[in-house]
Amino acid sequence: MEIGIDSFASAMISEDAAKTISKADAIAQLLERIKYADECGLDVFGIGEHHRKEFLDSAPTMILAAAAAITKRIILTSAVTVLSAADPVRVFQNFATLDLISNGRAEMVVGRGSFTEAFPLFGLNLQDYDALFAEKLELLLNIRDNEVVDWSGKFRPALKNQAIYPRPLQDPFPVWLGVGGTPESFVRAGVLGLPLMVAVIGGETHRFRPLVDLYREAGRRAGHSPEKLKVGLHSLGYVADTTEQAMDEYYPGYAETFTRIGRERGWPPVTRPQFNAQTGPTGALLVGGPEEIAEKIIRHSEALGGISRLTFQMDNADIPHEKLLHAIELIGKKVAPLVNVT
């Protein structure tokens, strides 16, 4: 199983002014964490895409390109690219260039995004949420598979015998489909034969098994081999030396972040009992000591019928940089070997 980290490039804005750092320092620390993840043997590092004050990832390929220059082997991916609000031609060109810079270590995870700020920002109608994504995904895959493209759609000017460059080093370039909990999204990934990245940020992970089965069945019916239908899991989490330490360090920032988001979406404030339940044996949060988290990853994989990639999202809880570095070390040198022991 590939194990890695996803980051939303936290701007480290906190209600506690003492925790707030400059945006330049936040980016510098993020790049240091990516470099250290590479050194610790992690397989993949992903950067999300948001257009909000608390995140610095509105241009993720810029961050990934900077990371490519200071790393050697780690896969560099998006987590996720909000394709609905982007031009597939530019998305492909950006990631093809990243693939060349990184010598074939680039990937992308495309999705519709869980926030909606990109739609008004780029002059799009939120009512076209799914139609935009379906059309742009079709075009992106067409560009990936063909150097010269003939294509027409509803939301973008047509391309007539148009060559698109540069071409990436990898052929085909890896494109994953990022999904939440919509059955149609799982089926779409299966029909297209795309690897699936499932974001489980709450509830119980095993409850996603029927959707994963739906994906695999749709892929089988479409004629794709089981080896092509890979499943990855994106989870909120944090690893410390002990489970008690991990929970105590992660909870305050986690509660602050999700309570703030909850005010926008009508969720109740986060409480410690709710958090404790989410970190239990079947809960979605991967917060604990190395041995416990390794066991939980294996349990989640078995519950979903086998996964090939697991990524931790850790920097959503205002945890200091030094502790995030230590967590990366624990994941790379203790968790990953325990998960992948033969």
What are the structural domain ranges in the chain? 2-339
User: Which of 58-62, 238-242, 278-282, 313-317 shows the lowest mean pLDDT across its residues?
Assistant: 313-317
Rounded-to-integer distance, Cα 338 and Cα 331, Å:
10
Please identify which residue in the block is written with the tokens 């052929």: 171
Residue labelled with tokens 């299966």? 190
Asked which of 19-28, 32-41, 195-204 is least confident by mean pLDDT, the reply is 19-28
Give the pLDDT band of residue 20 (cuts 50, 70, 90). Answer: confident
- Asked if residues 320 and 15 have their Cβ atoms less than 8 Å apart, the reply is no
DSSP 8-state code for residue 206: G
Tokens representing 34? 């990516």
Contacts of 160 (CB under 8 A, 6+ apart): 150
**Over residues 232-260, mean pLDDT:** 94
Say yes or no to pLDDT of 195 above 80. yes
Q: Which of 76, 71, 73 is nearest to 32 (CA)?
A: 71
Residue 342 has pLDDT above 60, yes or no: no
Q: Which two tokens stand for residue 232?
A: 């990855």
Tens-place pLDDT, residues 104-134: 999 999 998 778 889 999 999 988 989 999 9
Q: What is the pLDDT of residue 114?
A: 73
Peptide bond into 91 cis (omega under 30): no
Residue 15 confidence (pLDDT): 64
Q: Is the peptide bond before 210 cis (omega within 30 degrees of 0)?
A: no
Residue 16, pLDDT > 80, answer: no
- Beta-carbon contacts of 125 under 8 Å, excluding residues fewer than 6 positions away, are 119
Residues 6+ apart with CB under 8 A from 49: 57, 58, 60, 78, 80, 81, 82, 113, 118
CA separation for the pair 59, 127 (Å, rounded): 24
Contact 195, 230 (CB under 8 A): yes
Q: Binning pLDDT at 50, 70 and 90, where does residue 101 land?
A: very high
pLDDT value at position 318? 84
pLDDT of res. 71: 98
**pTM as predicted:** 0.95
∠ Cα 285 287 292 (to 5°):
110
Q: Provide the pLDDT for residue 85.
A: 94
pLDDT band at 66 (very low <50, low <70, confident <90, very high): very high
Mean pLDDT, rounded, for 189-205:
95
> Using 50, 70 and 90 to split pLDDT, how confident is the model at 260?
confident
> What pLDDT score was predicted for residue 14?
66
For residue 258, give both structure tokens. Answer: 């999700």
Rg of the chain's alpha carbons, rounded to an integer? 19
Say whether pLDDT at 181 is over 90.
Answer: no
- Average pLDDT of the chain to the nearest whole number: 94
Instruction: Provide the pLDDT for residue 13.
Output: 73
Average pLDDT score over residue span 129-140: 95
Q: How far apart are CA 115 and CA 74, in angstroms?
A: 28
Each residue's pLDDT tens digit, 310-328 = 999 998 878 999 999 999 9
What confidence score (pLDDT) does residue 18 get?
65
CATH superfamily of 2-339: Luciferase-like domain (3.20.20.30)
